[in-house]
């Protein structure tokens, strides 16, 4: 029975979502596994440059996994893939790290291989090409605790069970009024709570909040911030020097900067309250020194450039970082 009266809850947002027609899931890894199982995948080519949570979600479905290396420009190494189109039960899992792959390359791989599932976890605003199965992350771009979006190339029905996120917002609400450090433990606990989570529908709370975001402003601010960092730091960015860098067309995730001594720099920046995460830390430890995977996981600084910040914040960040990389 519907409740009437009582105390007021969070306001109902009336804005437009960025992807109103995509399927709404709790997690990107769950959405990817859900699609691959529904598509009848029995053999998946998965990059070594990939977080363990996706590997675990796919492995739980008893899908055969073949790992492939990346080339320096973030594309699959053809030596690790079959020299033929993929069969109906074979799929290639293609990541788009930091949104560095433009649409032409993404579409080209699909034409060459056929059965490709695209991971746009780091490229929320870069709309996946129409008709191509893809997943995009919500919680990596906005202040919510769950959320992923799935574009399917075939009819699918969402899981019946829905996630509930009201108990997971302590660290997000806390940081709004206090500091990140005071709620860092809660953030980690929230992340760990999703280990082994099944595919669920996105929580109603997150879906509501997504209707309250100014997506155009967020995308514009991210791109402006990215360009400020690139103007100030491009000469010190190994990806740019080696020709493996591009400016995303819209709403970047972070500014990826390849340096020689990233672990030490992260520590020094953290001491100055500039927090630069290390993505794929397990990849760095599991792959040999000198490999693309180890180098990119260990030594890329994912500098924050999101829509919380203004150009002057990026100028300050660059001023703090530049003395560490000039020598």
Q: Is the dihedral of CA 230, 236, 239, 244 positive or negative?
A: positive
Domains, the chain, ranges and CATH? Answer: 23-167+198-210 (3.40.640.10), 215-325 (3.90.1150.10)
Taking the C-alpha atoms of residue 229 and residue 316, their distance in angstroms, rounded to an integer, is: 10
Q: What is the pLDDT of residue 234?
A: 97
What pLDDT sits at residue 196?
A: 83
CA 254 to chain centre: 10
Instruction: Print pLDDT tens along the chain (327 aa).
Output: 889 999 999 999 999 999 999 999 999 999 999 999 999 999 999 999 998 999 999 999 999 999 999 999 999 999 999 988 899 999 999 999 999 999 999 988 887 788 999 999 999 999 998 889 999 999 999 999 999 999 999 999 999 999 999 999 999 999 999 988 898 889 888 888 888 889 999 999 999 999 999 999 999 999 999 999 999 999 999 999 999 999 999 999 999 999 999 999 999 999 999 999 999 889 999 999 999 999 999 999 999 999 999 999 999 999 999 999 986
* Half-sphere CA count of 115, side-chain side, radius 13 A: 21
- The predicted structure's pLDDT at residue 257: 98
Name the helix (H) or strand (E) containing 192. helix 184-192
- CA 238, CA 83: separation in Å to the nearest integer? 31
What per-residue confidence (pLDDT) applies to 227?
Answer: 98
What confidence score (pLDDT) does residue 294 get?
Answer: 96
Reported as type and span, the H/E element at residue 151 is strand 148-151
Residues 6+ apart with CB under 8 A from 129: 103, 106, 107, 110
pLDDT given at position 229? 98
How much is the pLDDT for 112?
78
Give me the pLDDT at residue 324, please. Answer: 97
Local structure of residue 79 (DSSP, 8 states): G
| Angle, vertex CA 212, rays to CA 151 and CA 100, nearest 5 | 45
């Amino acid at each position: 029975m519907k409740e009437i009266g009582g105390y007021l809850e969070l306001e109902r947002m009336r804005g437009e979502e960025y992807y109103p027609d995509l399927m709404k899931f709790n997690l990107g890894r769950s959405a990817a596994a859900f699609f691959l199982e529904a598509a009848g995948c029995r053999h998946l080519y998965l990059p070594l440059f990939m977080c363990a949570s996706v590997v675990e979600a796919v492995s739980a479905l008893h899908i055969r996994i073949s790992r492939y290396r990346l080339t320096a420009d973030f594309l699959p190494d053809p030596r690790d893939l079959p020299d033929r189109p993929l069969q109906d039960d074979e799929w290639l899992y293609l990541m788009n790290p930091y949104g560095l792959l433009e649409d032409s390359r993404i579409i080209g791989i699909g034409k060459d291989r056929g059965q490709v599932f695209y991971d746009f976890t780091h490229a929320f605003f870069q709309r996946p090409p129409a008709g191509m199965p893809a997943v995009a992350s919500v919680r990596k771009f906005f202040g919510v605790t769950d959320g992923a979006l799935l574009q399917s190339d075939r009819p699918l029905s969402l899981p019946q069970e829905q996630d509930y996120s009201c108990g997971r917002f302590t660290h997000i609400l806390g940081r709004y009024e206090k500091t990140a450090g005071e709620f860092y433990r809660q953030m980690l606990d929230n992340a760990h709570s999703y280990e082994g989570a099944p595919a669920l529908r996105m929580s109603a709370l997150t879906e509501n909040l997504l209707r309250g975001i100014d997506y155009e402003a967020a995308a514009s601010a991210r791109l402006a911030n990215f360009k400020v960092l690139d103007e100030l730091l491009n000469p010190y960015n190994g990806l740019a020097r080696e020709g493996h860098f591009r400016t995303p067309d819209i709403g970047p995730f972070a500014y990826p900067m390849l340096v020689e001594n990233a672990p030490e720099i992260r520590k020094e920046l953290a001491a100055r309250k500039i927090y630069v995460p290390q993505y794929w830390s397990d990849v760095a430890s599991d792959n040999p020194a000198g490999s693309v995977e180890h180098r990119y996981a260990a030594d890329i600084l994912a500098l924050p450039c999101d829509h919380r910040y203004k150009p002057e914040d990026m100028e300050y960040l660059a001023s703090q970082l530049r003395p560490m990389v000039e020598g």
